[in-house]
Structure 1
Amino acid sequence: MERLPPLNAIKAFEVAARAGSFTLAATELGVSSAAVSQQIRNLETWFGKQLFVRSGNRITLTDAGHAIYPQTARALGDIAAIGQRMLEGGLRTRLVVSVPFSLAELWLAPKLAELLDAFPQMAIDVRVEDDPVDLMRQNIDLRISYGDYHYPGLKLVRLVHDDVLPVCAPEFWHRHGNGDPGLADLHESLFIHTNWGPNYASHPTWADWFAASGGSRSPDPSHGRRVGLSSLAITSARLGLGIALGQRVMARADLEAGRLIALSSVSVRLGHPYCAFMPPAKADRADVAGLVELLTKAAPATCGQVGAPR
């Protein structure tokens, strides 16, 4: 047998490269940061190459590190898949999908319903969690993420680059719109603001939307309704709590059914696309490929629009 690099060190390298931190890698592996650092030094000695540039608590891959990372990630994914197949024996295929909180109910669930039409006997495990996740260790077949930068070395498919537009319930607009299709003069308490959390800085705001529509208004979030999930913004608007900057792919069903109306054709694109990440060994499975195909279907044109902004 050909000489193999130390496998524990390979695992420590893969986790550290993916997490971007020895400390985070140590937490995931259940060991100390010093142990991870030692494993990396062992691997660097074995290869005769420096794999990371260390700057305080920060690490970045060197050219040599970038060269070996994709193969190590694939190899560990293949090993995890073999282990899972052996443990499950002859059990039917189970599709394991990991998804952020906002996408689970309004976007992913309807797509899974379509997938089950083609695979009616499929077992599905949906895990709702924030980035980062360990696809190999947790035997995840497909991870949906905001942005294309979370999981280097895995197969990447860009699903949709979504946009936001102002939406509300028809009854709400009848009460507060006063027959005016514009939003410039509405009271600030009627706007729903989405707080994406401290990890994101590229999400569009109401100020961005007014700028895109040719205005200069910047509604104050402290005077309106604030929610912590983009899906909750859609739900709040549907329930008549205000006007939300709703993501088009999430608002699709409500717009088509007339539960929401779009108040403008002007939209603002999100800073990053939604992407699917898969271990290369699983990407060609029929159920995984089928779900990716469903998720890449473009959203329809806006429904229920009542007029252009002013």
Structure 2
Amino acid sequence: MSIEKSKTPLFHYGITIFLAAVLFVYVFSLDSKNPLDRLRRDWLGAKGPGNTTEEMEELCTKNLVPPQESHDESFVRMIKKAAMDDKTVILTDVNEAFSAPNSMLDLFLESFHNGEDNITRLLDHLVIVAMDQKAFEKCKSVHHYCYLHEDIGIDLSSENVYMTKAYVDLVWTKVRLWQLTLEQGYSFLFTDIDVMWFRNPFRHINVYADLTIGSDRFYGNPEDHSNDPNTGLVYAKPTRKNIEVLKYWLEARQRFPEAHEQTVYYEIRHELASKFDLKVQYVSTEYWANFCQLQKNFTKLTTFHPCCLVGLEQKIAQIKIITEEWKSYKSNNLKS
């Protein structure tokens, strides 16, 4: 009798373990539309390029497009040279005003050298798109992958005050560059030139999302379209879906002719989610920080974008303050 009683708890433990295993397999085999998918994603985590497993490689290659014919072979050759082993390239653009000495281009490149995670190596995968000849010449003096955007037909060299026509034309050019990059079979992480990089932002990119976008204001759920998007940092994989999304985004400009690309995305974000079943990850402002929802937790801060500030001089001044605070944080960590 005592022997039978001792076996009973073991039997119960076995049943419990078996049911837990069944639940585990069930949760991790659900498709993306199941509400428990979030649990699976949180469990697996979000790893960026360079940290692939067999499953991540499958996710990153599924439904990828073959390279398409391009009328801009020089740009294609450059992104091919700059790309990481997994065909990911970092893109930014700059004009004369933002490339002047001690201006944004210098501060941007300096931020990599001030950063952690050995992020200076990421400069080997950065393509800087110059919007005018002077910016191109400055770029070539400080970086090895510089491309002159020759097919614009408008003057984009000056500061271009926020929401002027020239400013709107400037920011829309980057969406076309994104499309061209995806059409060639390359993933991209686009960064505005005024985004300072202090740690590796790829660590906050979830491979399950179609697009990863920064936030002006983040409200807690990375999949919720209630977050205010900021297209100063955008990551996308070269899938057919993403290419169609960018085409739709570009075409939507006709409905909002005076709006920049971020505003248009905000207006059509629910259309994109419904029409394309688009999965978007909005990154918390704890990690991809800014002045719209200011958080300066240097233990988590990865990039800093001076959005919600108007004027080049004010942005530069504030970036220099943040940079000095970051250096002080790093110095204190080394001493402790």
How does the TM-score come out when normalised to structure 2? 0.24
How does the TM-score come out when normalised to structure 1? 0.26
Bigger helix fraction: 2
The answer to which structure, 1 or 2, has the higher relative contact order (CA under 8 A, 6+ apart) is 1
